[in-house]
């Protein structure tokens, strides 16, 4: 992360970047287990930093929540290119759908805050659209071009379907979401 004070570019010191990374990882874990209303002291302790360091990076709780969500969006979107490079098209798509389901599970802990109307969250929807939609479209287009997936599948339909599966109250048993997403992926296959 680069900090740009007064129009000048400046790199974040290595220790500050480590602290920032530790805070975002700790916040993600705390938010998933304890919710976004968990004491920020818990996040700082889990990250191994002082409360002042947390507030220096994130003056408001909403800033921390937005940063965690933005990082999760980026990680999910970035996974598409990695999977596409390492796997055949259908497998890359199916693996990414699993990755996206994990993202949705993480979002569950953040959902109450994201829908609060706080201005810190107003750019997140656009960021999601900019990053996630092209990622799934790229994977889907490759799978269709390879003849592995039906050509009538819409990327937005897949995003909605996996989101619905990942956030359903009926998927609380371990491994259930992964099995259901695998069934969904199998249903996308092109049939001769």
181's tokens: 């997403």
pLDDT at res. 68 = 92
**Residue 3 bridge partners (DSSP):** 10
Name the band, by pLDDT with cuts 50, 70 and 90, for residue 1: very low
99 and 87, same structural domain?
yes
User: Domain of 54?
Assistant: 1-59
Model pLDDT for residues 172-187, shown as the tens digit of each residue:
677 888 899 999 999 9
The average pLDDT across 75-96 equals 97
78 and 39, same structural domain?
no
**Which of 35, 59, 83 represents a domain boundary (last residue)?**
59
The average pLDDT across 130-155 equals 96
94 and 26, same structural domain?
no
46 and 86, same structural domain?
no
Taking residue 63's Cβ as centre, other Cβ atoms within 10 Å add up to 14
What distances in angstroms separate CA 126 from CA 16, 20, 131, one per listed residue? Answer: 28, 23, 9
Find the CATH number of the domain harbouring 8.
Answer: 1.10.10
pLDDT at res. 2 = 43
Model pLDDT for residues 32-45, shown as the tens digit of each residue:
888 888 899 999 99
**Count of structural domains, the chain:** 2
The average pLDDT across 139-165 equals 94
pLDDT at res. 146 = 97
Whether 3 has a pLDDT exceeding 60, the answer reads no
pLDDT at res. 172 = 66
Whether 5 has a pLDDT exceeding 50, the answer reads no
Size (the chain), residues = 192
Q: Of the given ranges (33-42, 99-108, 147-156), which has the lowest mean pLDDT?
A: 99-108
132 and 104, same structural domain?
yes
Q: State whether residue 10 is helix, strand or coil.
A: strand
Find the CATH number of the domain harbouring 120.
Answer: 1.10.357.10
53 and 139, same structural domain?
no
Whether 8 has a pLDDT exceeding 60, the answer reads no
74 and 3, same structural domain?
no
Who has greater pLDDT, 30 or 115? Answer: 30
Who has greater pLDDT, 55 or 10? Answer: 55
71 and 117, same structural domain?
yes
Contacts of 77 (CB under 8 A, 6+ apart): 131, 132, 134, 135
| 22 sits in which H/E element | helix 14-34
133 and 191, same structural domain?
yes
- Spatial separation of the C-alpha atoms in residues 61 and 45, rounded to whole Å: 15
């Amino acid at each position: 992360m680069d900090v740009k004070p007064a129009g000048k570019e400046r790199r974040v010191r290595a220790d500050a970047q480590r602290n920032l990374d530790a805070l975002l990882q700790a916040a993600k874990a705390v938010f998933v287990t304890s919710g976004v209303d968990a004491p920020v002291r818990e996040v700082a302790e889990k990250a191994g930093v002082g409360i002042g360091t947390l507030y220096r990076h994130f003056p408001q709780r909403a800033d921390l929540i937005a940063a965690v969500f933005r990082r999760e969006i980026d990680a999910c979107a970035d996974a598409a290119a990695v999977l596409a490079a390492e796997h055949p098209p259908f497998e890359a798509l199916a693996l990414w759908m699993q990755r996206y389901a994990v993202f949705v599970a993480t979002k569950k802990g953040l959902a109450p805050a994201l829908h609060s109307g706080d201005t810190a969250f107003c750019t997140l929807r656009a960021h999601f659209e900019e990053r996630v939609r092209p990622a799934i479209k790229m994977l889907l287009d490759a799978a269709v071009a390879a003849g592995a997936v039906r050509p009538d599948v819409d990327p937005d339909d897949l995003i909605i379907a996996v989101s619905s599966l990942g956030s359903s109250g009926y998927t609380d048993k371990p491994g259930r979401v992964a099995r259901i997403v695998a069934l969904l992926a199998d249903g996308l296959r092109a049939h001769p």
